Amino acid sequence: MKVAFLVAPEGVEQVELTDPWQAVRDAGGTPELVSTKGGKIQAFDHLDKADSFSVDRTVTETSADDYDALVLPGGVANPDFLRMDARAVAFVKSFFDAGKPVAAICHAPWTLVEADVVRGRTLTSWPSLQTDIRNAGGLWVDEQVHICREAPSTLITSRKPADLKAFIDAVVTEFPVTARQG
């Protein structure tokens, strides 16, 4: 299983990147860090700078065809930057168009709203996004993790870092763990 983790150059919540990343590796998958710019991305621990991570590919160097699934970590700034980048939004939408599973936590559904892929779906997020999700045609629920299996692709969403265990369990269960490697 090859999984894209899409993040902006700055603002991703570190634990929402690193914990699912490790879970994908532990399940035998290959995570790749995709961003809108090459080089390194700056992660955060809430509002404080945390570690930086090397980008594997940019959204212009890859496509959904290269992956089995997509993870969208949160952080307040991260999805706000991503939803302002047309290439990042198109990258996200292409996973839905291809029927591939997508997982998003915390503020990450903002990017899903921008990609116009929440209409008719049930999902959760950080509570402040519920109006945006409803205005985009989605049904917002206050749950630790929600799995929406509406066609064309499975969507896993979670509210916050405190829900990471449930989010990770859903990702490992729902992603195609027997798919191609590397």
Residue 131, class by beta-carbon neighbours within 10 Å (0-12 exposed, 13-18 middle, 19+ buried)?
exposed
DSSP state at residue 42: E
End-to-end CA distance of the chain: 7
Which string of b and e fits 65-76 if b means at least 16 CB within 10 Å? Answer: eebbbbbbbbbb
Question: Are the CB atoms for 113 and 130 separated by under 8 Å?
Answer: no
Active site residue 106: yes
| 73/3 Cα distance (integer angstroms) | 13
Q: How far apart are CA 118 and CA 123, in angstroms?
A: 8
Name the catalytic one among 106, 112, 115, 171.
106
141 SS3 class: coil
82 forms bridges with which residues in the sheet? none
**Catalytic positions, written as ranges:** 106
